[in-house]
Amino acid sequence: MSAHDIDHSLDSFGDATASATRVTPGNALRPEDIAIQQEKPTDLVAQYAVRLGDDALILAQRLSHWISRGPELEEDIALGNIALDQLGHARSFLTYAGKAWDKTEDDLAYWREEEDFRSLHIVEQPNGDFGVTIMRQLIISIYQHLLYTELLQSSDPTIAAISAKAVKEVDYHRDHAIAWTLRLGMGTEESARRMRHALAVLWPYVGEIFEDEELHTALGDVAVAPSTLRAAWDEDFASVLSDAGLEVPTVPYAMARGRRGEHSEHLGFILAEMQVLARKHPGATW
């Protein structure tokens, strides 16, 4: 077999034609691959995929704002890269979900109304200063890492495959968030003060992450009930905070119900910006 033949034989796999924007090692599953596969998710599986996709999409939208505004060029690149990874996960989950309803990823991202989104309030929270962004990253990346690790065992092969790609990337997001939490928690008085503030600002929205829904029970082995991740998350999170000289704050929780389509006041603005151009040109392709 010549080198050319080998190249050719790989054409149908994600790796060979890996994303136009970055090559991901392993069995990179791209949204384009998912779009052409035969299997369609059930309505319930699609609803679950929408939850995973919306969290990643809104977080990507938030993080992307840091590009050209970071405290160091290296952070423009790092946060941009994390945003790009999250956007990739969102595209895969939304593409898969959309197949249940003959919709594309763009139909779901650009043409759904606010109440049809299923994102968590925590991903909708404003970036704040770098400390708030890092704290939000710490909270979410520890959660997503636990979640995607469990979802490797999902009985839905596509959910498992997307998670397999996502977990490798989220592992880096977690490392990045931990490294910065330590630097900022242990750095200066000012940075520690800002991190305590970030914790107080974000803590009210942590509870929502781990709330189970009927959907999780109904889906059985396809999904992971978020409440089952809480103990491990608490342990991991507390350990990072302790290393960083920080403490879990005692602030009230917020009744956040993003999974029911009841969102923070921020989401409307996020969507207005994200959807404006696409909606100005119905039916156009880009």
Q: Taking each helix axis from N to C terminus, what angle separates 130-151 and 189-202, rounded to the nearest 10 degrees?
A: 50
Using CB under 8 A as the binding rule, whether residue 3 contacts another protein is answered as no
Taking the CA of residue 227 as centre, how many other CA atoms within 13 Å lie in the half-sphere pointing to its CB? 6
Q: Which stretch binds another protein (CB under 8 A): 170-178, 183-191, 214-222, 232-240?
A: 183-191
Are 85 and 168 within 8 A, CB to CB? no
Residue 18: CB minimum distance to another protein, A:
12
The 13-32 site mask, x for binding another protein (CB under 8 A), equals: ------xxxx--------x-
116-124, 158-166, 197-205, 273-281 -> range binding another protein (CB under 8 A)? 273-281
Asked if 104 contacts 70 with a C-beta cutoff of 8 angstroms, the reply is: no
Nearer to another protein by Cβ, of 8 and 22: the residue is 22
Confirm or reject binding of residue 281 to another protein (CB under 8 A). yes
Q: What is the number of helices (H) and of strands (E) in the chain?
A: 13, 0
Task: Judge whether 140 and 122 are in contact, CB under 8 Å.
Answer: yes
Task: Give helix 230-243 / helix 157-186 axis angle, nearest 10°.
Answer: 20
Task: Point out which span in 39-47, 87-95, 205-213, 221-229 binds another protein (CB under 8 A).
Answer: 87-95
Lookup: tokens for 62: 């938030």
Q: Contact residues for another protein (CB under 8 A)?
A: 19-22, 31, 57, 61, 64-65, 67-77, 80-81, 83-84, 87-88, 90-91, 94, 105-106, 109-110, 129-131, 182-184, 186-188, 190-191, 194, 273-274, 276-278, 281, 283-286
